[in-house]
Amino acid sequence: MIARLFHAEVGENENAIGAGTVGSVCWEKFARYFEVELREVEVREGYYVMDPAKAVELVDENTICVAAILGSTYNGEFEDVKLLNDLLLEKNKQTGWDTPIHVDAASGGFIAPFLYPELEWDFRLPLVKSINIVSGHKYVMN
Contacts of 95 (CB under 8 A, 6+ apart): 61
What is the distance between the alpha carbons of residues 129 and 59, in angstroms, rounded to a whole number? 17
Footprint on residues 40-79 left by ligand PLP (CB under 6 A): 69, 71, 73
Question: Between residues 73 and 95, which has the closer beta carbon with respect to ligand PLP?
Answer: 73
Beta bridge partners of 67: 102
State yes or no: residue 106 binds ligand PLP (CB under 6 A): yes
Stretch that binds ligand PLP, among 10-18, 83-91, 101-109, 113-121 (CB under 6 A): 101-109
Starting at the earlier edge strand, list the strands of the sheet with 128-132: 66-69, 101-104, 128-132
Question: Between residues 63 and 102, which has the closer beta carbon with respect to ligand PLP?
Answer: 102
- Are the CB atoms for 66 and 101 separated by under 8 Å? yes
Question: Between residues 13 and 75, which has the closer beta carbon with respect to ligand PLP?
Answer: 75
Residues contributing to the site for ligand PLP (CB under 6 A)? 22-24, 69, 71, 73, 104, 106-107, 135
